[in-house]
């Protein structure tokens, strides 16, 4: 399967990478679903809904601040680095990630190459006012203290998308445009259950792209994929990078 996938990636293709939490698992970030997923605890699922910000703000902000503080310890894994190296050396890559960590950006800094990375569900590094939308990056700010906006006095919250909220328009539009024009769509580490992110690979497929799934398990997108690599991102992506470089 790696050889088959490499065939489609070796002639300077236009590629959209659709990434989910499985890409960051080998950096120590838990997934949401599945036997080890965060959502096995119903309370955690509750903390990702916009209504909880009104009903249980302190618990919610404490949980998000804990996740923000964990970001400091995270390192990009071999999967992140292989993806950025593929983007730097072998084609025209755009990334649409559902992840709110910064590990693709950290891999880009390490390799000195920054492809377009669209955060469909926002970023834990960002802080945003829930009322006026004023936003900035500051990992040191303790959201557990319930800080308020210096512009309007509204409550500050992490710059992520909660269930019940719309996705940011520009990342979604740019990702949809990339889906419509790509030759190949790599779907890595996502269950394919959350819309509209899960529609991007389907859009790519209907525009004639070859779909490659990298996931140890099947997903809601597996049936739409042409090539299924049933392996971990941290193993499959470096192998894919080596095979593509060998063919070029
Ligand atoms: N390599 C690749 N894939 C993996 C790995 C790994 N090492 N480990 C697990 N996976 C796969 C799982 O098999 C699963 O299909 O990653 C996927 C994780 O699925 P989810 O937990 O549903 O994560 P994701 O698809 O990113 O969720 C989408 O849901 O809760 C919302 O906003 C949240 O962005 C998130 C969205």
Residue 128's contacts (CB-CB under 8 Å, 6 or more residues apart) are 134, 135, 156, 157, 158, 159
- Atom 28 in ligand 1: which residue has the minimum CA distance? 194
Q: What is the pLDDT, as a whole number, of residue 190?
A: 98
Is the pLDDT score of 163 beyond 90? yes
Residue ranges, comma separated, of all CATH 3.30.1600.10 domains in the chain are 38-72+126-160
Judge contact between 117 and 105, C-beta under 8 A: yes
- The pLDDT tens digits for 199-223 are 999 999 999 999 999 999 999 999 9
Q: CB–CB of 21/193 below 8 Å?
A: no
User: Is the CB of residue 221 below 6 angstroms from any atom belonging to ligand 1?
Assistant: no
The sign of the dihedral angle between the CA atoms of 13, 14, 18, 19 is: positive
Q: Active site residue: 8, 119, 121, 246, which one? A: 121
Strand order in the sheet with 117-119: 117-119, 92-97, 14-19, 184-188, 210-214, 227-229
Convert the pLDDT of each residue in 33-84 to its tens digit. Answer: 988 899 888 888 899 999 999 999 999 999 999 999 999 999 999 999 999 9
CA 138 to CA 118: how far, in whole Å?
19
**End-to-end Cα, the chain, rounded Å:** 18
- Give distance in angstroms: CA of 19 to centre of ligand 1: 8
Angle between helices 78-90 and 233-247 (to 10 degrees): 20
| CATH number for region 2-29+76-121+167-247 | 3.40.50.1220
- How far, in Å, is the centroid of ligand 1 from the Cα of 234? 14
Ligand 1 center from residue 22 Cα (angstroms): 4
**Percent helix, strand, coil in the chain (nearest 5)?**
45, 20, 40
pLDDT at 115: 98
**Residue 33 Cβ contacting ligand 1 at under 6 Å:** yes
What are the structure tokens assigned to 163, written together? 């269930």
Residue 95, SS3?
strand
In this predicted structure, what is the pLDDT of residue 192?
A: 98
Nearest CA to ligand 1 atom 17: 190
**Positive/negative CA dihedral, 51, 52, 55, 58:** negative
The protein residue whose alpha carbon is closest to atom 13 in ligand 1 is 217
Whether 20 shows a pLDDT value over 90: the answer reads yes
Say how far residue 81 (Cα) sits from the centre of its chain. Answer: 14
Let me know if 121 is a catalytic residue.
yes
Any ligand 1 atom below 6 A from CB of 193? yes
Looking at residue 246, its pLDDT comes to: 95
Q: Would the CB of 123 count as within 6 Å of ligand 1?
A: no
Tens digits of residue pLDDT in 217-245: 999 999 999 999 999 999 999 999 999 99
Check if 121 has its Cβ closer than 6 Å to any atom of ligand 1: yes
- Report CA(132)–ligand 1 centroid distance (Å): 31
pLDDT for the residue 44: 87
Please, what is the average pLDDT of the chain? 96
Q: How confident is the model at residue 32 (pLDDT cuts 50, 70, 90)?
A: very high
Domain 38-72+126-160 CATH class label:
alpha beta
Model's pTM, two decimal places?
A: 0.97
User: Whose C-alpha lies nearest to ligand 1, atom 8?
Assistant: 22
Mention every residue, 6+ apart, whose C-beta is less than 8 A from residue 88: 111, 112, 113, 115
pLDDT of residue 36: 87
pLDDT at 17: 98
CA distance 211 to 185: 5
H/E element holding 57? helix 57-71
What distances in angstroms separate CA 85 from CA 58, 113, 175, one per listed residue? 41, 8, 20
For CATH 3.40.50.1220, the residue range(s) in the chain are: 2-29+76-121+167-247
């Amino acid at each position: 399967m790696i050889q088959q996938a490499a065939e489609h990636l070796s002639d300077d293709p236009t590629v959209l990478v659709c990434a989910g939490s499985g890409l960051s698992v080998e950096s120590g970030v838990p997934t949401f679903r599945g036997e080890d997923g965060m959502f096995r605890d119903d309370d955690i699922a509750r903390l990702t809904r916009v209504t909880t910000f009104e009903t249980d703000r302190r618990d919610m902000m404490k949980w998000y601040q804990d996740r923000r503080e964990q970001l400091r310890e995270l390192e990009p894994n071999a999967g992140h680095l292989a993806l950025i190296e593929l983007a730097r050396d072998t084609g025209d890559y755009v990334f649409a990630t559902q992840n709110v960590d910064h590990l693709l950006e950290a891999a880009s800094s390490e390799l000195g190459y920054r492809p377009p990375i669209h955060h469909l569900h926002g970023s834990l590094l960002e802080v945003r006012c829930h009322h006026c939308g004023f936003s900035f990056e500051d990992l040191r700010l303790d959201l557990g203290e319930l800080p308020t906006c210096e512009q309007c006095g509204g409550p500050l919250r992490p710059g992520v998308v909660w269930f019940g909220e719309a996705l940011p328009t520009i990342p979604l539009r740019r990702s949809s445009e990339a889906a419509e024009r790509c030759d190949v769509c790599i779907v890595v580490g996502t269950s394919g259950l959350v819309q509209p992110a899960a529609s991007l690979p389907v859009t790519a497929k209907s525009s004639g792209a070859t779909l490659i799934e990298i996931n140890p398990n099947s997903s809601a997108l597996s049936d739409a994929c042409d090539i299924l690599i049933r392996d971990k991102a941290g193993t499959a992506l470096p192998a894919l990078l080596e095979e593509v470089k060998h063919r070029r």
